Amino acid sequence: MGPGARGWGRWLPGLAALLTLPSGPPGCWGARIVGGHEVTPHSRPYMASVSFEGRHHCGGFLLRARWVVSAAHCFSDRDPHSGLVVLGAHDLQSSEPTQQVLGIAAVVRHPDYQPTTHANDICLLRLNGSAVLGPAVGLLALPRRGARPPSVGTRCRVAGWGFVSDFEEPPPGLMEAEVRVLGLHVCNSSWRGQLSPAMLCTHSGDGRRRGFCSADSGGPLVCRSRAHGLISFSGLWCGDPKTPDVYTQVSAFVTWIWDVVRRGGPLPGSTGRPV
């Protein structure tokens, strides 16, 4: 799917890309959802597109009519005033009658978000209006409080609107790939011990390249109809089994999420940014 599962900008070919890698865990610099397929239009009604200057930037999912969950790193060096959330979309290049476009009233990052390690890479977006729920716009459930992450080998789905070629070719519509949960210990070995306990990993399960890529950040990993992961970062090459995809483990943040929603905005100590 499209630019940096870390939101680092467009893919740079050849040696130039290797010379300009940021510090910290590398993000995906490839440019397509690997091993995926286009979904039936509006069959994932919870999916949200976060755009800046008319361009899709990150994903997210609709939790409540006025709340979207996304990744904290999506808003690094971004002014929420200029951001829009698109709901009810399949083809972002078309003006679909099902689409609802809302502004962002506040961005609430987790207070312990660490940009260099991507620990606690999660945020809530309070919309400037309420989404109208229907066949094309719906909610996605969180794991229950205290729920454990999915067991190793569980089949899950990850979706997004990232580019489908290294030349920034947009996808025909929402793309999705089936992946399997990988044990955090095994995943952490691949990442040389850089992962924190509140992270979750997936791989293709068959040794093939399959998973998320750039511009998919913030989108959900859906396991058994619940959002168990939030796209955070992956390796230099998307879907590479040597560097499994890494997500924020949503179950570790359920209490924080509902506290923010219940209060209607930032908690004391949170990095809320009202606009």
Residue 264 and residue 275: Cα distance in Å, rounded? 14
The catalytically annotated residue of 190, 204, 217, 234 is: 217
The catalytically annotated residue of 57, 121, 203, 228 is: 121
Active site residue 81: no
The catalytically annotated residue of 42, 56, 57, 73 is: 73
CA of residue 191 relative to chain centroid, distance = 19
Residue 228 and residue 209: Cα distance in Å, rounded? 21
Residue 164 and residue 93: Cα distance in Å, rounded? 14
Residue 84 and residue 193: Cα distance in Å, rounded? 36
Helices first, then strands: H and E counts in the chain? 3, 14
Active site residue 234: no
User: Tokens 């050849």 correspond to what residue?
Assistant: 14
Residue 219 and residue 229: Cα distance in Å, rounded? 8
Q: Are 200 and 186 in contact (CB under 8 A)?
A: no
Active site residue 82: no
Active-site residue set: 73, 121, 217
